[in-house]
Amino acid sequence: MQPQADPFIVPECHDEIEILYRDEALILLNKPSGLLSLSGKHPENKDSVHFRLVQRFPTCTMIHRLDFGTSGIMLVAMNKQINAQLCCQFSERTVSKRYTALLHGHLEQDNGVIDQAIAKDKDNFPLMKICQQTGKPAISKFRVLERFTQTPEASFYREDKRAGERSVTRVEFEPVSGRTHQLRVHSQQIKHPILGCDLYASDQAYFMATRLMLHASELSFDHPLSGERMNIVSPSPF
């Protein structure tokens, strides 16, 4: 029996990919929210970061992904040899990543560490869950940047009665590990889900934003050819 194609058809993304840096070895880009990192199984889900890039750079290969709703920095190798070198840095955790997120409610702590193992939720694909027994270790550091009350003038505001209380905390996340949906699951675990998250947020938090309020804002790694430490920043759009 042939596997069925994913029935979910993603909305068309009209935003362009912004190239932040490019040389003979790699590309650093800014992915818009609402664009797949890789093309989906369904033929109508062809549009993606990879699909667009290979039109211009046929030998480029993906090293990591960002969720469909997440915007921000992605690192792409120009060939398989560079890909292997960069993947080693990710696996050895010498790559530093920082994200900006808007969380529902006001966090009491100004900073902290979330240390909760994450496993696949086999009963609720594609969700992940906290499970100390079967999950893989997952650690996320966070630092509060701002606490505020959302107003109707905010560009990400969704006018919906289900949004309820509109207190918001802007945080900087630094994931030590790189598990699937890690920041989204960890935010839910501390009872301050990411605004606009369709998988892990309450109705209140989901209906407060028109998109997932998570942005990959900083990436640091060693250039595979020169060895120079690269630090790329993409300011959060929210």
CATH number of the CATH domain containing 90? 3.30.2350.10
Contact 61, 77 (CB under 8 A): yes
Give yes or no: 6 in active site.
Answer: no
In a domain, 13, yes or no: no
pLDDT along the chain (238 residues), means of 10: 60 96 98 96 92 97 96 98 97 96 96 97 93 96 95 71 77 96 98 96 92 98 98 97
In a domain, 55, yes or no: yes
In a domain, 88, yes or no: yes
pLDDT at 3: 44
Query: Phi and psi dihedrals of 118, rounded to 5?
Result: -120, 135
Q: How far is CA 120 from CA 129, 146, 191, in A?
A: 6, 32, 20
Annotated catalytic residue within 6, 67, 110, 123: 67
* C-alpha–C-alpha distance, residues 222 and 27, integer Å: 14
In a domain, 12, yes or no: no
pTM recorded for the entire structure: 0.92
In a domain, 8, yes or no: no
In a domain, 215, yes or no: yes
Q: How many domains are contained in the chain? A: 1
pLDDT at 8: 77
Domain that holds residue 115: 18-233
HSE of 192 in the Cβ direction (CA atoms, 13 Å)? 21
In a domain, 1, yes or no: no
pLDDT at 42: 87
User: CB under 8 Å to 148, separation ≥6 — which residues?
Assistant: 167, 168, 170
In a domain, 42, yes or no: yes
